[in-house]
Amino acid sequence: MNKIVNKKPFVIVVGLDYSDHSDAALARAFELSTLETAAEVHVVAVQPRLELAQPNGPKSALLDLEIAAAQLQRYVASRWAAFSGAWKSHWVQPPRRVVSHIRFGQPANGIVQLASDLNADLVVVLGRTPDAVTEGLSARAV
């Protein structure tokens, strides 16, 4: 009798705001993902809330969204390429996939909501001070 094993991937969510701190968090998320046999890294950039009722109308807002999504995808791909080139010999297995997400609103809310939506196993964030991260996420814990 054949058994079908459907192992849930180890899901890592990492917040990205293009700062040095978030670059370090992204690198750490990549590193941690290589220690798991089935991991996914989900990178989320949280943008200010879209106002579709502005004078420029929805087309400009949607264009901004497309630009932000493309920029995020290129940025994450370049960071993954740099990381994988330097660390390839050290990992157990590369992640199954690396996915970029755009969310809107407050960064802590966007990160926590994505983590909840994906039933994440780990959230990786870095701030200028530990208190900044703790204060931002603790009230919104998954």
pLDDT at residue 94, as a whole number: 73
Amino acid, res. 60: S
pTM score: 0.79
pLDDT at residue 91, as a whole number: 61
Q: Where are the domains of the chain?
A: 11-138
Q: Is the pLDDT of residue 102 over 60?
A: yes
pLDDT at residue 95, as a whole number: 76
Residue 59 to residues 40, 45, 56, 62, 64, Cα–Cα distance (Å): 33, 21, 7, 5, 9
Domain 11-138: assigned CATH number: 3.40.50.620
Lowest mean pLDDT segment, chosen from 17-21, 58-62, 111-115, 125-129: 58-62
